[in-house]
Chain A
Amino acid sequence: MLEINGLRARAGGTDILQGLDLTMGPGEVHAVMGPNGSGKSTLANVLSGRPSVEVTGGSVLYKGKNLLDLSPEERACEGVFLAFQYPVEIPGVSNMYFMKSALNAVRKHRGESQLDAMDFLQLVREKMKLVEMDEALMNRSVNEGFSGGEKKRNEILQMAVLEPSLAILDETDSGLDIDALRIAAEGVNALRRPDRSVLVITHYQRLLDYIVPDYVHVLAGGRIVRSGGKDLALELEEKGYGWITDGASA
């Protein structure tokens, strides 16, 4: 599914990723954990193609294609989805219209027919159950005036609608209370499939109580410094990052 080799990237004039390697198979859930400033969000930004991040070395193969050659919208159409840490507000554009446009853009890329408003409404109603979202939010402007929990659930709803092959969750747990966290996580779990990989980026272990990963990686100093099973997350929770990252930065 995804093969990252020796990835290097700069943002804001600083080298952040410094030779990152990561391989994900289909259907696998990987968690990338690490202290603040370790490059977690930069990794999400590189994979989704955010223009403010500059790739300076290494390669990323996604389904056998060079991902870095594709524009952000091409990556999205090819099935790369990023659940944003800070979902963006778009005043005056209804959430319903936004999602329908997104889905139709992806469907067009796949050579599928366009959905009209009625078809889409039916589809989105079905998906909304997953994240227990109020239909009223569909008629509001994208993310405008949404609570923190509503924004994150809206991200997971978009994931459910767009059915990506690779979903990247960037700090989806940040700013959520425990109930909102549970709902968002259950939404993600319901979307786990043998042909869909999920990359969970998080600072804290608690999200992984709900979304149980197959692999856990620790990111420090712009590289993966340790990989393991789900128990590694628990160990980190107990001991903190220091015992691993001290070694990495030395």
Chain B
Amino acid sequence: MSEALERITKQEYQYGFVTDIEQDTLPPGLDEGVVRFISAKKEEPEWLLAWRLKAYERWVAMKDDSPTWAMVDYPEIDYQAISYYSAPKPKKQLESLDEVDPDLLDTYKKLGISLDEQKRLQNVAVDAVFDSVSVATTFKKELNKHGIIFCSFSEAVREHGDLVQKWLGSVVPQGDNYFAALNSAVFSDGSFVYIPKGVRCPMELSTYFRINAENTGQFERTLIVADEGSYVSYLEGCTAPQRDENQLHAAVVELVALGDAEIKYSTVQNWYPGDADGKGGIFNFVTKRGACRGARSKISWTQVETGSAVTWKYPSCILQGDDSVGEFYSVALTNNCQQADTGTKMIHIGKNTKSTIISKGISAGRGQNTYRGLVKISPKATGARNYSQCDSLLLGDQCGAHTFPYLEVKNDDATVEHEATTSKIGEDQLFYCQQRGISEEDAISMIVNGFCKEVLRELPMEFAVEAQNLLGVSLEGAVG
């Protein structure tokens, strides 16, 4: 058993290459001047500079408050040793894809992301973010026809400043937590989406994040606003080169769903996880939160977390609108020396709000996997319902799985259910498959895939393929 397990769990990271491209990189270090520099570089309006500076102030005040409650163990991060801005040169306004540096296009091609609209096979519009800036956004014209705004965050600040100003920080305020404060001060780019009233976005929107430069942090910001009665499905993918040093990624994602709107947000996170001995890898500290502001609105998070040395993220839903719905579907795989502390918060405020949490943790090698979740039912949330299911699968005997479900129920009328299981891949299961002619490796894939099925089937087709490749599992089994 252990041999096939090892082969599967020791597959090499495929996206570890570095793109040799001239970059504009700020020297390491963080002070008020750096925040001003970034804002000036991006020709931002004054309100945004003021917003950043307030965030910086909050962050400095929190200096000794970086969170220590998570079950992750990592060396202290020297925030003065990180560069907070890096962009590919030349940085000019791009009119079309033809003007994008061919090396960059090539990079995305290697990652399996085609930015060439002519060659589109999938109905997906892509915003490509390379280190600190967005390098290309596809399908803009088509989206414009529907009044949909999908662009880089910088462009949104320039072209749709009023919308950004209205919603930025409305779900994750600057001082929300240590990493959100840092992001708010120094974020360099990201994606912005606005879906107008009653519009069903005709294609999947996707952002592909790539860290390239050395010693830089990536601090992107995503803001999605779904106006009344609209729908959007949004995908996010991430990779980074293989390096011996750890790199910091501290993103913030804010979602706003107004009345009857629905946002489906899917992530396949595959940042470089470090080598087998735990050297290098991305420190992934991410704040993701969605607000179901209007009645009958819905926000659904689906994540497949296979990368990063350390993952710290809790995509959450604030269920304010009556009858609003929050969902969290997660697969987290930790292998070698990876550590993940991930889960969700479902905050029930409106009446008859409903939430579902399905978390699947897979631990292999010496990986440590923690589910941490909060279900909070506030006094006004009459008729609220939650169902949580947290399953852990262990491959081998040196890994660990931990579950911390927190419940705060302040309304007697609420229904809260929690189920949890921990299992090992059984010799019996493997032997059963092998006795039918299926190789040990394929059998492990099949069993892991079956274990994750409830989550994988929530992913849009295009992403399900990537996710199954990442898990080394067979797709047909998941959707069959």
Report which A residues bind B (CB closer than 8 A). Answer: 48-52, 71-73, 75-77, 81-82, 84, 87-94, 96-99, 101-103, 105-106, 109, 117, 141, 158, 162
Closest chain A CB from B391 CB (angstroms): 9
Determine if B452 and A92 form an interchain contact, defined as CB atoms under 8 angstroms apart.
yes
Determine if B437 and A73 form an interchain contact, defined as CB atoms under 8 angstroms apart.
yes
Chain B positions within 8 Å of A101 at CB level: 436, 438, 442, 446, 474, 477
Q: A51-B427, A92-B449, A92-B451 are in contact. Are A72 and B480 (CB under 8 A)?
A: no
The CA of A49 and the CA of B440, in the complex, are separated in Å by 13
The CA of A51 and the CA of B438, in the complex, are separated in Å by 15
- Residue from B429, B433, B452, B480 in contact with A96 in the complex, judged by beta carbons closer than 8 Å: B480
Chain B positions within 8 Å of A71 at CB level: 434
The CA of A98 and the CA of B434, in the complex, are separated in Å by 11
- A103 closest partner in B (C-beta): B437
Closest chain A CB from B450 CB (angstroms): 3
The CA of A89 and the CA of B449, in the complex, are separated in Å by 14
Chain B positions within 8 Å of A75 at CB level: 435
The CA of A50 and the CA of B432, in the complex, are separated in Å by 9
The answer, yes or no, to whether B476 is at the interface (CB within 8 Å) is yes
Chain B positions within 8 Å of A84 at CB level: 432, 435
Determine if A105 and B438 form an interchain contact, defined as CB atoms under 8 angstroms apart.
yes
- A141 closest partner in B (C-beta): B450
Determine if A52 and B427 form an interchain contact, defined as CB atoms under 8 angstroms apart.
yes
Closest chain A CB from B304 CB (angstroms): 15
Chain B positions within 8 Å of A82 at CB level: 435
Determine if B431 and A98 form an interchain contact, defined as CB atoms under 8 angstroms apart.
no
User: Chain B, 159-198, contact with A by CB distance < 8 Å: what is the 0/1 string?
Assistant: 0000000000000000000000000000000000000000
Closest chain A CB from B459 CB (angstroms): 15
- Residue from B426, B434, B446, B453 in contact with A72 in the complex, judged by beta carbons closer than 8 Å: B434
Extra A-B contacts (15), CB below 8 Å, given A96-B480, A98-B433: A72-B435, A73-B439, A76-B435, A76-B437, A81-B435, A84-B435, A87-B432, A88-B428, A90-B429, A93-B450, A93-B453, A94-B477, A99-B436, A103-B437, A106-B436
Closest chain B CB from A113 CB (angstroms): 16
Chain A positions within 8 Å of B480 at CB level: 94, 96-97
Chain B positions within 8 Å of A88 at CB level: 426, 428-429, 431-432
- A168 closest partner in B (C-beta): B435
Closest chain B CB from A4 CB (angstroms): 19
Closest chain A CB from B421 CB (angstroms): 10
The CA of A77 and the CA of B435, in the complex, are separated in Å by 9
The answer, yes or no, to whether B6 is at the interface (CB within 8 Å) is no
Provide a sorted-by-A list of 17 A–B residue pairs whose CB atoms are within 8 angstroms: A48-B435, A49-B434, A51-B431, A71-B434, A73-B438, A84-B432, A90-B433, A92-B453, A97-B477, A98-B446, A99-B436, A101-B438, A101-B442, A105-B437, A105-B438, A106-B436, A106-B437
Determine if A73 and B432 form an interchain contact, defined as CB atoms under 8 angstroms apart.
no
Of residues 425 through 480 on chain B, the ones whose CB sits less than 8 Å from some CB of chain A are 426-429, 431-440, 442, 446-447, 449-454, 474, 476-478, 480
Chain B positions within 8 Å of A87 at CB level: 432
Chain A positions within 8 Å of B429 at CB level: 88-90
Chain B positions within 8 Å of A105 at CB level: 436-439, 442
Determine if A76 and B454 form an interchain contact, defined as CB atoms under 8 angstroms apart.
no
The CA of A229 and the CA of B428, in the complex, are separated in Å by 35
Chain A positions within 8 Å of B440 at CB level: 73
The CA of A93 and the CA of B456, in the complex, are separated in Å by 12
- Residue from A49, A89, A91, A102 in contact with B438 in the complex, judged by beta carbons closer than 8 Å: A102
Chain B positions within 8 Å of A52 at CB level: 427
- B454 closest partner in A (C-beta): A92
Closest chain A CB from B155 CB (angstroms): 42
The CA of A97 and the CA of B445, in the complex, are separated in Å by 13
- Residue from A50, A89, A94, A97 in contact with B431 in the complex, judged by beta carbons closer than 8 Å: A50
Determine if A109 and B437 form an interchain contact, defined as CB atoms under 8 angstroms apart.
yes
Determine if B453 and A102 form an interchain contact, defined as CB atoms under 8 angstroms apart.
no
Q: Give the interface centre of B437, B450, B474 by most chain A CB atoms within 10 Å.
A: B437
